[in-house]
Structure 1
Amino acid sequence: MAIRLFLAFASFMGFTVYQMDVKSAFLYGNITEEVYVKQPPGFEDPAHPNKVYRVVKALYGLHQAPRAWYERLSTFLLKHGYRRGAIDKTLFIKKDRRDIMLVQVYVDDIIFGSTKSSMVKDFEELMQKEFKMSSMGELTFFLGLQVKQTSAGIFLSQDKYVKDILNKFDFRTIKPASTPIEAHKSLGKDEEGEDVDVHLYRSMIGCLMYLTASRPDIMFAVCLCARFQVTPKVSHLHAVKRIFRYLKHQPKLGLWYPKDSPFHLEAFSDSDYAGDNHDRRSTSGGCQYLGRRLVSWQCKKQTIVAISSTEAEYVAAASCCAQVLWMQNQLLDYGFNFMNTEIHIDNESTICIVKNPVFHSKTKHIQIRHHFIRDCYEQRLINVVKVHTDDNVADLLTKGFDLARFKFLVVTIGMMNP
């Protein structure tokens, strides 16, 4: 999510994002703990065969190595005028009047960009003087995410990964499907069904979960199938194959971050009441936008059994509110203070409960831990707004749909083909 937030900001400000890689990054870290290694085979000291080496520098394979490298890098950047993000500790910021320089670190991969080109050059020179770096130019591929930067915006996709997993599971000639799950499909434990290879099933789910980093259109279907990884049956495997058939039909679908869109935080929340036929728990869905840029989304089965659709919607809204608060705090590092963020909800009763500060008999059954959304509303951190069910894009994350409705939601949520 931090990467999508970084790229959403870059598309709004209109600057290019670059990438560099640190060669042998872990070897730069210094170990503060006492760590010993035995003498490597073939290099034993014949005079002291029973002695061991004490490690001073980090080595690949040590649990302490990533932390040691991060300490080394962060200390270096802080020394040269950068400050660390308050929420995201892998984000480093440097400001020069109205210009800003952003650096996002993921182990030994670094992406960076600035509203001022000279700050980019200074950063590259600074890093190359201290570390052995390989500059990779404009960001095109990062952590499995394909990034296409244009003057009109930034496009994120994983079509190369889609092709790879279709080949991995021998689905190259599979028949395409127009949706990832059948409309209003009910998938249960199917205890009488035939067992399938659990390792194959889990491998397929793992590959699909990684793909949800840029594909909210398959999020609900993948999360639904992931619930049956303990004892998967033939019916569950058919549902997973249906997702692959859909990927065969739409391999290049991705997220579009337009440059001309405003930069304001808003969210959508929805719930599918008692959608699970086995335990009658509901599914929460939520998505957060910066303008028309979809930055974050969630799909999760609720931990309680809601006894009304209003309660299910209220629980979903509380989860969405928590994500909004987290994003508000993170966006402070980017120089934006978003108060009174709108959360769009399609249930009028839920909105009334949020706005009503009095605990009355009709809401006593709703767990107290979800009532913090009321406090957020009273503090004007969020605002709840009614949206028509047909226009609630979070609906895509709670259930399966027929083709016409599914296509509408995919386009509305912010996805497109390149």
Structure 2
Amino acid sequence: MMLPPGFKSNKPNQVCRLLRSLYGLKQASRQWNVKLTKTLQDNGFIQSSADPSLFTKRSQTSFIALLVYVDDILVAGTNDNQIKELKQMLDSSFKIKDLGKLNYFLGIEAYRTPNGINLCQRKYTLEILKENNFLDAKPAKTPFTTGQRLNNTDGKLIINPEEFRRLVGKLLYLTNTRPDISYATQQLSQFVDKPRDIHLIAAHRVLRYLKGSPGKRLFYPSNSPTKLLAFSDSDWATCTETRKSVTGYCVYLGKSLISWKTKKQATISRSSAEAEYRALASTVCEIQWLSYLLADLLVKIDSPTALFCDSKSAIAIGENHVFHERTKHIEIDCHVVKQKVHEENEWKDPVDNKGNRKPKTNWRAMKKEWNMISTQKQ
């Protein structure tokens, strides 16, 4: 560190020694995280391997979980006295500010009822509409025009690309509670380098869709069964320029939607079956990560996860090793689907205590009975 102008000292080449991290320095956030992690671990908390921002502590009679985002902390537990002790410990170490029960966290509004908890970003959505002058716009029924394919050639370059980039960035954060705009936002985020007027029109349609339902929210019931269900799909060669496919999946814990994603695949698929198989591999990896995360939260899954796919060819590739001629060009990591299917078949016990063969689960009937409603309007 250089001496500030006007500082006089009798010793030559004297510098200042930094005793604490300051806001604005590159290492400030890392040093803060290291100190917070060490403080929690010294008090008996265990850092999750699946998510480094999650800390848990359990005893014979209680369990407490702590989620960290920079300097914002969310605490949940089964014992109020332990939570009070945790707050006192954090206050003595860092001088925290207690905001009470959860109602607003990182722009996400939480409303709790005896039946469950509702999560939405209504205030954040209204701020986006107000910033872009869309509070009085005519609502749209869908966030994206059916069959529309965006590219880098149609339309004219917009004069102010920062406006488009800022809007897409806010829409990306809005997908934390709005899975219905995930596909539209994924399509728009491909053109942030050189946006054109046709891309801005498509982004404005998303705003018009949000105008019709700014308070749409996710509901997580308190009596939901602890069973993981996943749905996977892909749109083969949907990108008109690179001919890459788009992966889409969603994962449910009981009737609660807990994970979803829409993302373009890294490589080009030669067939729709390959695109579906790659989407299955991405979904399997997400399910595996969620299993680790639920294990850290002491949530026990007693049955294998049901993964639904509408491609018979992809299902056959995952179950059968005979399709070598058609799949030998697919990366090795995609075959994690085969491994998990094999593990599931070994995990199932086909015989009960009396020696009778257990009936297989009718996943086709379960799919018909499954209620796909995961969001509701305010």
TM-score bracket, normalised by the shorter chain, equals 0.7 to 0.9
Retained in 2: the 8 A contact 1:193–1:234?
Answer: yes
Retained in 1: the 8 A contact 2:226–2:300?
Answer: no
1:178 to 141, 144, 158: 141
In the other structure, the counterpart of 1:194 is: 156
In the other structure, the counterpart of 2:20 is: 57
Aligned residue type for 2:336 = F
- CA RMSD, 1 decimal: 2.6
Distance 1:267 1:146 in 2: 26
Once the two structures are overlaid, the 10-residue window that deviates more, 246-255 or 114-123, is 114-123
1:169 paired to 2:132 = yes
Aligned residue type for 1:195 = L
1:113 paired to 2:76 = yes
> What secondary structure is seen at the aligned counterpart in 1 of 2:99?
strand
Once the two structures are overlaid, the 10-residue window that deviates more, 333-342 or 112-121, is 333-342
Distance 1:385 1:263 in 2: 18
Distance 1:349 1:392 in 2: 24
In the other structure, the counterpart of 2:310 is: 346
Using a 3 Å threshold, how does the CA distance of structure 1 residues 55 and 391 change in structure 2: closer, same or farther? farther
Distance 2:363 2:314 in 1: 10
In the other structure, the counterpart of 1:19 is: none
1:357 paired to 2:310 = no
In the other structure, the counterpart of 2:358 is: none
Write the mapping of 1:47-126 to structure 2, written as runs, cut at 5 A. Answer: 47-48=10-11, 50-126=13-89
2:258 to 271, 285, 295: 295
Using a 3 Å threshold, how does the CA distance of structure 1 residues 316 and 50 change in structure 2: closer, same or farther? same
Question: Residue 299 of structure 1: CA displacement?
Answer: 0.4
Question: Residue 38 of structure 1: CA displacement?
Answer: 3.3
Is there any run of 5+ residues in structure 1 with no aligned partner, and where? Answer: 1-36, 394-410
In the other structure, the counterpart of 1:155 is: 118
Question: Residue 158 of structure 1: CA displacement?
Answer: 0.7
Once the two structures are overlaid, the 10-residue window that deviates more, 219-228 or 48-57, is 48-57
Aligned residue type for 1:175 = K
TM-score by length of 1: 0.80
Distance 1:68 1:278 in 2: 44
Distance 1:303 1:73 in 2: 37
Question: Residue 324 of structure 1: CA displacement?
Answer: 0.9
Question: Residue 128 of structure 1: CA displacement?
Answer: 2.4
Distance 2:311 2:25 in 1: 52
In the other structure, the counterpart of 1:283 is: 246
In the other structure, the counterpart of 1:374 is: 338
Question: Residue 41 of structure 1: CA displacement?
Answer: 5.3
Aligned residue type for 1:342 = A
Question: Residue 279 of structure 1: CA displacement?
Answer: 3.3
Aligned residues: 362
Is there any run of 5+ residues in structure 2 with no aligned partner, and where? Answer: 349-360
Retained in 1: the 8 A contact 2:232–2:249?
Answer: yes
> What secondary structure is seen at the aligned counterpart in 2 of 1:312?
helix
In the other structure, the counterpart of 1:404 is: none
Using a 3 Å threshold, how does the CA distance of structure 1 residues 70 and 366 change in structure 2: closer, same or farther? closer
- Deviation digits for residues 237-283 of structure 1, max 9, x if unmatched? 11111000101111111111111211222211011222233333221
In the other structure, the counterpart of 1:211 is: 174
Aligned residue type for 2:330 = I
Retained in 2: the 8 A contact 1:148–1:155?
Answer: yes
Give % identity: 36
Aligned residue type for 1:317 = L
In the other structure, the counterpart of 1:416 is: 376
Retained in 1: the 8 A contact 2:216–2:375?
Answer: yes
Using a 3 Å threshold, how does the CA distance of structure 1 residues 192 and 177 change in structure 2: closer, same or farther? closer
Retained in 1: the 8 A contact 2:154–2:198?
Answer: no
Retained in 2: the 8 A contact 1:267–1:344?
Answer: yes
Distance 1:282 1:251 in 2: 30
> What secondary structure is seen at the aligned counterpart in 2 of 1:221?
helix
> What secondary structure is seen at the aligned counterpart in 2 of 1:103?
strand
Distance 1:205 1:392 in 2: 36
1:308 to 246, 268, 271: 271
Higher relative contact order (CA 8 A, sep 6+): 1
In the other structure, the counterpart of 1:17 is: none
Aligned residue type for 1:126 = M
Distance 1:415 1:235 in 2: 29
Using a 3 Å threshold, how does the CA distance of structure 1 residues 109 and 171 change in structure 2: closer, same or farther? same
Distance 1:268 1:73 in 2: 38
Aligned residue type for 2:110 = V
Distance 2:83 2:154 in 1: 61
1:264 to 216, 221, 227: 227
Aligned residue type for 2:2 = K
Retained in 2: the 8 A contact 1:318–1:371?
Answer: yes
TM-score by length of 2: 0.88
Aligned residue type for 2:155 = G
